[in-house]
């Protein structure tokens, strides 16, 4: 959700009877970006409308240059480049129509998550390198690579925007519009600061700064714009590991350090030549990181060739130990960052800048990284009056252009006089040069010089600092308080929401630019307001298996907490009975949800009915909820119809479990064997084997002769008797 402190007049307007402006998305130094509807093709597009002051600054020249660069960008087709669909001029305002990417910028991602581990950082920089490779192959240089120009779609696609537009806006245009150097100073290569030619290697430098910020979470240089520009020209970007160690983080692999240092060399000749070479190195580094390679000197040498290491013992630990480095690269520092006293003057006659092709310092000059280069010697010349046409204040960006327009090299060398112009042509020819008017002329000249100096001073103050104001600190404020703070400072503020686990909903998390940054009066501040922690709807997990419930919570960005088990007569064993959060309620992400899982019905205690009536035991067990099975076995010890044994006879069982009873059918009956005529011993053996007890009696107790044979049994043969009964044999 975006809330703007002011209403944009273009919202609701239709450009060229085709593009209906729906919403303002962002406002930058050159243009404002809108979400729009293409009424002809029925699609959503992004429309970038240039600021009015840019067109006023350069007139039709800007429109022609803008048209030319927009056409060049439109010819660039690559999956990692935001497509340019159309361009035109509506009511004097140049605009371009681009592909609309639903998502966020790399700046948003850095604000939320940086620093990134090397694998993530390289995966984010690889599409940027691919886009630059395609552009450089087509002869197009971006000139303003920065996180704000890298768009990340909701589906993960990464695309680079604004190809060609940095060139369309010349240094003069940017100076008039914003009072800054072309591009974003934090990512500006030294050669652009020094006003020399920018090429593909300039994009490599800016990309290296972006990679440094991804790895460390901060930019290599901070401060006023002029201070940052000076650092780009005179200091070497430190290795990311040096910054990470200082901030208490683990270092990155040495070859990743080497890649950053190679990209951010101040001498363009010592950087990767173009986007294709950068892409190759990024992919090699990413493959090494993915393979778990921590340090690799040979790969570091590929990233940062030995021939580039003049005056800097990087391989011995310079960049990784935090030691001060000495860089011997030539410094090409233009007059525009040598001090605020140089922002408003014409060329100084006799100085090194008044000769065609001269530079502020010799190319061979070598300076320590922590030293400020010496100012060029003064020749003692001071202005004594105003020129015939007053010069407009000149910004740092305009300085070399201004020299080319006003310096003495405008005339052929043979026409130049060694005498200063002020001595060849009277400043005020209408004043007679005689003793009567000499004093008056001196007074008038002095007054005019003072007035001119005041005008120049005030103009210089306004161009360099007067029209700027510090960004108020809004972090921790409510939206209403932030709007009030912005209005008091003469600024406007727009809001977008972001989830935060640490900041209360409705409170400002961050601003762009950050507090204390100098921006033009009436500029807009983009603020991020906390929407509180991100919440998700609690899924209904009751009745699901524990495994299915766990997956449902993970899918809802929640976690499984404690799992307890309970008996339930209604929920099947293994299924979820309840959860600690009610289904449908909004729950903060990653909240641990406790689950109660069923163990099935409560178990029932088993009572032992051994020796009891079988009918009684069966009835009692069935009333308790068990299933009862029975079988009969003869028993001489257990009464008929009573329980001989029970399985199980104790413990606990679930309802419906089986209990088995063995019921006595009484003693087993056996037929008395026929043992007649057998010897007494044989008869005893047979009867005992049949389970009987044997008692012997003689038919005639007094007989003198005995045959020792069985005459009969009692009971008689074939009589059914229970085992263990006594059978009497009668012996003759």
Find residue 104's DSSP bridge partners: 152
- Residues contacting 515, CB < 8 A, separation 6+: 470, 471, 472, 473, 474, 475
With beta carbons less than 8 A apart as the criterion, state whether 202 and 67 touch: no
In terms of DSSP bridges, do strands 524-530 and 492-498 run parallel, antiparallel, or are they unpaired? parallel
Is-contact 249 326, C-beta < 8 A? Answer: no
- At 88 the three-state DSSP class reads strand
Give the closest residue to 474 by CA, choosing from 520, 507, 517, 521.
Answer: 507
- Per DSSP, 602 falls in state P
Question: How far lies 257's CA from each of 72, 182, 242, 315, in Å?
Answer: 34, 28, 9, 11
Q: Are 182 and 166 in contact (CB under 8 A)?
A: yes
Handedness of CA 191, 193, 199, 203 (dihedral sign): positive
Strand-strand pairing, 43-50 and 93-99:
antiparallel
Parallel, antiparallel, or unpaired for β 627-633 and 592-598? unpaired
- Please give the Cα distance from 656 to 636 (Å, whole number): 33
CA angle 477, 479, 485 (to 5 degrees): 65
Residue closest to 286 by CA, chosen among 244, 252, 251, 256: 256
Contacts of 382 (CB under 8 A, 6+ apart): none
Where are the strands (E) in 492-609, listed by range?
492-498, 508-512, 518-520, 524-530, 535-537, 559-566, 576-579, 586-588, 592-598, 604-605
Distance (Å, whole) CA 303 – CA 261: 9
Under 8 Å CB-to-CB from 182, ≥6 apart: which residues?
A: 143, 144, 166, 169, 170, 171, 174, 192, 397
366: three-class secondary structure by DSSP: strand
Alpha carbon 653 to its chain centroid, in Å, reads 55
31, containing H or E segment: strand 31-38
Distance CA 74, CA 688 (A): 117
Task: Give dist(CA 345, CA 360) in Å, integer.
Answer: 15
144 is catalytic: yes
For 548, the token pair is: 């299915």
Whole-angstrom Cα distance, residue 503 to residue 529?
A: 9
Alpha helices in 462-514 (DSSP H): 479-488
Q: What's the CA gap between 484 and 523, in Å, rounded?
A: 15
| Cα gap 568→582, rounded to integer Å | 20
Cis peptide before 653 (omega within 30 of 0): no
3-state SS track over 421-475: HHHHCCCCCCCCCCHHHHHHHHHHHHHHHHHHHHHHHHHHHHHHHHCEEECCCCC
Catalytic residue among 144, 162, 327, 398: 144
Residue 87 bridge partners (DSSP): 96
Q: What angle do CA 254, 255, 260 make, to 5 degrees?
A: 100
Catalytically active residues, by annotation: 144
């Amino acid at each position: 959700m975006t809330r703007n402190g002011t209403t944009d007049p273009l919202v609701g307007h239709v450009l060229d009877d085709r593009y209906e402006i729906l919403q303002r998305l962002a406002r930058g130094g050159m243009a404002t970006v809108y979400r729009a509807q293409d009424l002809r093709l029925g699609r959503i597009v992004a429309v970038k409308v240039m600021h009015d002051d840019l067109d006023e600054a350069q007139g039709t020249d800007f429109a022609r240059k803008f048209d030319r660069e927009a056409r060049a960008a439109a010819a660039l087709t690559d999956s990692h480049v935001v497509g340019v669909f159309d361009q035109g001029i509506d009511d004097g305002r140049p605009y371009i129509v681009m592909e609309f990417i639903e998502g966020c910028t790399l700046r948003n991602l850095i604000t939320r998550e940086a620093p990134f581990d090397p694998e993530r950082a390289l995966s984010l920089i690889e599409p940027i390198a691919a886009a630059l490779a395609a552009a450089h192959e087509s002869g197009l240089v971006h000139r303003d690579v920065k996180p704000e120009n890298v768009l990340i779609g909701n589906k993960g696609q990464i695309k680079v925007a604004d190809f060609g537009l940095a060139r369309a806006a010349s240094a003069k245009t940017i100076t008039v519009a914003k009072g800054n150097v072309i591009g974003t100073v934090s990512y500006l290569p030294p050669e652009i600061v020094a006003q020399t030619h920018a090429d593909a290697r300039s994009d490599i430098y800016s990309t290296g700064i972006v990679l440094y910020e991804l790895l460390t979470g901060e930019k290599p240089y901070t401060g006023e714009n002029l201070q940052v520009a000076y650092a780009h020209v005179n200091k070497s970007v430190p290795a990311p590991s040096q910054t990470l160690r200082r901030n208490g983080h683990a270092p990155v692999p040495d070859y990743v350090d080497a890649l950053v240092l190679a990209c951010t060399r101040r001498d363009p000749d010592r950087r990767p030549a173009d986007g294709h070479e950068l892409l190759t190195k990024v992919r090699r580094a990413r493959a090494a990181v993915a393979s778990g390679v921590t340090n690799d000197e040979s790969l570091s040498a590929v990233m940062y060739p030995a021939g580039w290491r003049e005056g800097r013992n990087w391989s011995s630990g310079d960049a990784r130990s935090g030691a001060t480095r000495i860089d011997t690269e030539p410094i090409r520092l233009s007059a525009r960052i040598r001090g605020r006293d140089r922002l408003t003057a014409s060329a100084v006659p006799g100085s090194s800048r008044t000769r065609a092709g001269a530079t502020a310092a010799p190319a061979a000059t070598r300076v320590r990284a922590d030293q400020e280069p010496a100012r060029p010697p003064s020749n003692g010349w001071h202005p004594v009056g105003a020129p015939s046409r007053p010069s407009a204040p000149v910004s740092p960006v305009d300085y070399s252009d201004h020299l080319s327009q006003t310096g003495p090299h405008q005339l052929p060398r043979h026409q130049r006089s060694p005498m200063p112009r002020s001595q060849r042509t009277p400043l005020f020819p209408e004043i007679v040069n005689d003793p009567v008017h000499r004093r008056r002329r001196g007074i008038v000249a002095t007054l005019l010089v003072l007035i001119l100096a005041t005008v120049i001073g005030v103009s210089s103050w306004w161009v360099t600092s007067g029209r700027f104001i510090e960004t108020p600190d809004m972090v921790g404020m409510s939206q209403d308080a932030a709007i009030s703070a912005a209005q008091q400072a003469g600024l406007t503020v727009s809001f977008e929401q972001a989830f935060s686990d640490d900041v209360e909903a409705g409170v400002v998390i961050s601003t762009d630019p950050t507090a204390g940054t100098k921006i033009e009066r009436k500029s807009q501040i983009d603020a991020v307001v906390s929407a509180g922690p991100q919440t998700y709807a609690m899924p209904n997990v009751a009745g699901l298996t524990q495994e299915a419930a766990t997956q449902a919570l993970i899918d809802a960005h929640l976690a499984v907490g404690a799992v307890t088990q309970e008996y339930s007569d209604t929920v099947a064993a293994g299924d979820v009975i309840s959860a600690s959060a009610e289904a449908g309620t909004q729950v903060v992400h990653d909240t641990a949800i406790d689950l109660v899982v069923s163990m099935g019905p409560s178990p029932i205690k088993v009572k032992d009915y051994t020796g009891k009536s079988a009918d009684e035991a069966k009835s009692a067990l069935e009333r308790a909820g068990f299933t009862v099975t029975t079988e009969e076995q003869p028993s001489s010890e257990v009464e008929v119809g009573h329980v001989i044994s029970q399985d199980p006879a104790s413990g606990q069982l679930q309802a419906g479990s089986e209990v088995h009873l063995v019921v006595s059918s009484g003693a087993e009956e056996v037929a008395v064997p026929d043992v007649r005529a057998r010897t007494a011993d044989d008869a005893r053996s047979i009867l005992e084997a049949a389970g009987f007890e044997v008692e012997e009696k003689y038919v005639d107790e007094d007989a003198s002769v005995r045959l020792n044979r069985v005459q009969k049994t009692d009971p008689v043969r074939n009589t059914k008797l229970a085992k263990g009964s006594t059978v009497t044999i009668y012996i003759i």
